[in-house]
Structure 1
Amino acid sequence: MFEWSETDVMIRDAVRTFVDKEVRPHLDALDSGEMTPYPIIRKLFGEFGIDAVAGEAIEKSLAKEQAKAEAVAAGEPAPEKKSSGGSPFAGQESMMAVLIGELSGVCMGLVTAMGVSIGLGATTIMSRGTLAQKQRWLADIVTMRKVAAWAITEPDSGSDAFGGMKSYVRRDGDDYILNGQKTFITNGPFADVVVVYAKLDEGDGADKRDRKVLTFVLDAGMEGFTQGKPFKKMGLHSSPTGELFFDGVRLGRDRLLGETEEHRGGDGRDSARSSFTAERIGVGFMALGIINECHRLCLEYAKSRKLWGQEIGRFQLVQLKLAKMEVARINVQNMVFNVLERGRAGKPPSLAEASAIKLYASEAATEVAMEAVQLFGGNGYMTEYRVEQLARDAKSLMIYAGSNEIQVTHIAKGLLAQ
């Protein structure tokens, strides 16, 4: 793949029309927190039929799973079931890449809110949940009728997500009691459903770093579960982020994903690592959106802004900035194309490769956005020209989905393991 298909371009143009009509007029309200991203996301899903496509995909997938379970219970041969890849948008990756890129270039917080809800929340339930759990939560999440959060980060853990995890559950009869705290949780303040990772404390004095990690699904309003107010952040203002507090939350086994501590796919660490891969690939898609928008704005400005009687695009130092932006755009776009092609071939990137994409793309997007501010000069420092918002949002990509420093570790481990 070396360019977008005709269908991709049609989708891109349609998304741009939607963005101009439904997103740009509300940027100030979104950036101030006066308006949450969810009504716009739901309108997007409705206008493009994304909610219908996702809902139908989930319905078909669960119907096949139900038929298989019934056949097994009756002692009959189970019908073959093609894997969905754990995503309600399997087979629609190109469309989603276009959608993510176009939205990210204008309001990346919309993408973050949507991506965490579906790409992390729903996908984790899809890949690890029982049929009953999928039927209980998935349809509402993938259609954005309900918002999901994915809670792993804690105040004292950060990049040491598992080793430093202090949130824990203890068995109490057939139930579990959850205590602890999570922070920097996207959608946390407003989530209807929350996927939570916690250590199992068996009271045996085992090293806390090595304890089993279990994954639970909570609903807003449960006794002992408190959702904090949105944080004030440097960027990504349109994506609500906050703390979650668990004080003796009683959880039945029906809320333990897989309903067993011995999950066939390993403990919670394994599902989280799989999510890390998808999340880091998504950073590449978002970075491309930031770069494309900065590239467009800078070209327009270089052609229209005049100094000393000529367009600033005639100055070599401005041309150098534009040239470097173009190199970054080509490189990150090629990374995105490579991911899409590998997905179609059934050979998605490994965690190490996803970390490499995240590392390069996030640094490229941040550099391009900061250079865009510089190219605009004093105007670039003003909110009116929007490049300052893009710079603030781009910087989050170097921290989001694991800091870039930890990406280096994952890349090196992957290389040394070969």
Structure 2
Amino acid sequence: MLEWSEVDLAVRDAVRDFVDKEIRPHLDDLESGDMPPYPIIRKLFSTFGIDAMAKESLERRLAKMRDGSESEGKSASGGMFGGGGDQAGMGFVLISELCRVSMGVVTGLGVSLGLTVPTIASRGTLAQQERWLPELVTYEKVGAWAITEPDSGSDAFGGMTTNVVRATDGSGDYVLNGQKTFITNGPDADVTVVYAKLDDGDRSVDKRKRKVLTFVLDKGMDGFVQSKPMRKMGIHSSRTGELFFTDVRLGRDRLLGETEQNASGDGRDSAKSNFSSERIGVAAMALGVIEECLRLSVDYAKSRKLWGQEIGQFQLIQLKLATMEVARMNVRNMLFRVIEAAQTGTPISLAEASAMKWYCSQAATDVAMDAIQIFGGNGYMTEYRVEQLARDAKSLMIYAGSNEVQITHVARGLLSG
């Protein structure tokens, strides 16, 4: 695949029209935090029938599980919108188009549908999936995915201190204590997937190597506190917060799989299975930023004049524009590689996904900074959107695992071959 399909282009044009009508006029309110992103996402879903498509796909899957033709613990296919591999391009087009104007909207959408939903779908029992997924896949309810802690970012599992202990009353319940931070949708999430280490009292087991279990919490549970939104450098339209757990009582029905011996492995395996898709998603987000920065920069280079001529006639400006275009082509072609893999059912390895995330996030940040340089003093002003794009782009180098960690994964993939 070397170009977007006709269907992808039709989706692109429709999404652009939606963005111009429903998002651009509210950007200042979204960026200031005065307007939450969730109603806009729900309107997007209803406008394009994404909610109905996701609900129908989920019902088909649950029906197969009920009649035994599909087993529990089998991952759902088709990405976060519920379609098959042939619809992968549509999802990437949607993400990149939204990121041209508001990356935060995509972040809040992606974590709920791209992390919370797949974790429950791949590890939950039929009863658990019936309990939580119907309202999550349609975005009636917002999901969060909580793994990061104040002292365990890149070292997510080794440094994890949030823990559960088995209740001593013989009920089979667990008691959760700890804290999570930098949690997308954290302040508002209705449903939160939480990773915690099991403290079974065996002091011979290294704390870093204790079993990780995965639970589902609902908003308002006793002892579960969701903080106010944190103030951030960028992606302001995405609400990020902290989660606090103080003696939160969890029944076994909230343990995904309802057993500590999950067929899909412990929580580490659950989280790692999401890393590749999350990092691939960064490539689509980066493409949106790059395309918008390039569009704005070309328009500005044609209209801004210095010393009696358009600045686009100066070779240093041309170099920046040409470099942006090469970055756009490279990132787009990486996405085409992912789309072809989805269509053929070929998985993208963690090492390759890490390479894509590393390159694309760096490219988006470099392009955004060059855009500011082309705009000069204007680029530093918030009324010019390249300022917002630059702040948002920087988050991609940290989001889904810092770029330094991606380099390690790429190198390990090479050395293990």
State the TM bucket, normalised to the shorter chain.
over 0.9
Partner of 2:49: 49
Q: 2:232 is paired with a residue of what secondary structure?
A: coil
Q: 2:244 is paired with a residue of what secondary structure?
A: strand
Tell me the C-alpha RMSD between the 2 structures.
1.3
| Aligned equivalents of 2:192, 2:58: Cα separation in 1 | 19
Partner of 2:251: 252
Q: State whether residues 99 and 289 of structure 2, in contact with CA within 8 Å, keep that contact through their aligned partners in structure 1.
A: yes
Partner of 1:20: 20
Deviation at 1:375, TM superposition (A): 0.3
Partner of 1:340: 339
Amino acid at match of 2:185: N
Amino acid at match of 1:132: A
Amino acid at match of 2:136: I
Partner of 1:224: 223
Q: State whether residues 372 and 380 of structure 2, in contact with CA within 8 Å, keep that contact through their aligned partners in structure 1.
A: yes
> For structure 1, which segment, 222-231 or 84-93, has the greater mean C-alpha deviation from structure 2 after superposition?
84-93
Q: 1:106 is paired with a residue of what secondary structure?
A: coil
Q: 1:189 is paired with a residue of what secondary structure?
A: coil
Superposition map of 1:6-405 within 5 A: 6-68=6-68, 78=69, 84-85=76-77, 87=79, 88-91=82-85, 92-172=87-167, 173=170, 174-205=172-203, 206-405=205-404
Partner of 1:72: none
Q: State whether residues 162 and 178 of structure 2, in contact with CA within 8 Å, keep that contact through their aligned partners in structure 1.
A: yes
**Where do 5+ consecutive residues of structure 1 fail to align?**
69-77
Q: State whether residues 86 and 123 of structure 1, in contact with CA within 8 Å, keep that contact through their aligned partners in structure 2.
A: no
Can you list the C-alpha shifts for 1:254-307, whole angstroms capped at 9, x where unaligned? 000011100111100001001111100000010000000001111111111111
Q: 2:246 is paired with a residue of what secondary structure?
A: strand
Q: State whether residues 223 and 245 of structure 2, in contact with CA within 8 Å, keep that contact through their aligned partners in structure 1.
A: yes
| Aligned equivalents of 2:70, 2:114: Cα separation in 1 | 28
Indicate how the Cα distance of structure 1 residues 163 and 236 shifts in structure 2: closer, same or farther if over 3 A, else same. same
Q: State whether residues 101 and 289 of structure 1, in contact with CA within 8 Å, keep that contact through their aligned partners in structure 2.
A: yes
Q: State whether residues 186 and 242 of structure 2, in contact with CA within 8 Å, keep that contact through their aligned partners in structure 1.
A: yes
Deviation at 1:80, TM superposition (A): 9.3
| Aligned equivalents of 2:347, 2:365: Cα separation in 1 | 26
Partner of 1:73: none
Amino acid at match of 1:93: A
Q: State whether residues 154 and 183 of structure 1, in contact with CA within 8 Å, keep that contact through their aligned partners in structure 2.
A: yes
Task: Normalising by structure 2, report the TM-score.
Answer: 0.96
**Where do 5+ consecutive residues of structure 2 fail to align?**
none
| Aligned equivalents of 1:9, 1:304: Cα separation in 2 | 28
Can you list the C-alpha shifts for 1:88-115, whole angstroms capped at 9, x where unaligned? 3433211110000000111000000000
Deviation at 1:416, TM superposition (A): 1.1
| Aligned equivalents of 1:187, 1:80: Cα separation in 2 | 30
Q: State whether residues 197 and 213 of structure 2, in contact with CA within 8 Å, keep that contact through their aligned partners in structure 1.
A: yes
Indicate how the Cα distance of structure 1 residues 36 and 341 shifts in structure 2: closer, same or farther if over 3 A, else same. same
Can you list the C-alpha shifts for 1:341-377, whole angstroms capped at 9, x where unaligned? 0111111211111000000000000000000000001
Deviation at 1:412, TM superposition (A): 1.1
Q: State whether residues 213 and 269 of structure 1, in contact with CA within 8 Å, keep that contact through their aligned partners in structure 2.
A: yes
Amino acid at match of 2:235: L
Deviation >6 Å, runs of 4+ = 79-83
Q: State whether residues 84 and 90 of structure 1, in contact with CA within 8 Å, keep that contact through their aligned partners in structure 2.
A: no
Q: State whether residues 86 and 126 of structure 1, in contact with CA within 8 Å, keep that contact through their aligned partners in structure 2.
A: no
| Aligned equivalents of 1:202, 1:154: Cα separation in 2 | 21
| Aligned equivalents of 2:380, 2:320: Cα separation in 1 | 17
| Aligned equivalents of 2:163, 2:71: Cα separation in 1 | 38
Can you list the C-alpha shifts for 1:136-185, whole angstroms capped at 9, x where unaligned? 01110110000000000000111000000000000113100000000000
> For structure 1, which segment, 303-312 or 230-239, has the greater mean C-alpha deviation from structure 2 after superposition?
303-312
Q: State whether residues 379 and 387 of structure 2, in contact with CA within 8 Å, keep that contact through their aligned partners in structure 1.
A: yes
Indicate how the Cα distance of structure 1 residues 340 and 86 shifts in structure 2: closer, same or farther if over 3 A, else same. closer
Amino acid at match of 1:186: T
Indicate how the Cα distance of structure 1 residues 348 and 308 shifts in structure 2: closer, same or farther if over 3 A, else same. same
Q: 2:102 is paired with a residue of what secondary structure?
A: helix
Indicate how the Cα distance of structure 1 residues 86 and 197 shifts in structure 2: closer, same or farther if over 3 A, else same. farther
What is the number of residues matched between the two proteins?
A: 409
Q: State whether residues 148 and 187 of structure 1, in contact with CA within 8 Å, keep that contact through their aligned partners in structure 2.
A: yes
Deviation at 1:207, TM superposition (A): 1.1
| Aligned equivalents of 2:71, 2:366: Cα separation in 1 | 49
Indicate how the Cα distance of structure 1 residues 299 and 169 shifts in structure 2: closer, same or farther if over 3 A, else same. same
Residue identity over aligned pairs, in percent, reads 70
Deviation at 1:202, TM superposition (A): 0.2
Q: State whether residues 188 and 242 of structure 1, in contact with CA within 8 Å, keep that contact through their aligned partners in structure 2.
A: yes
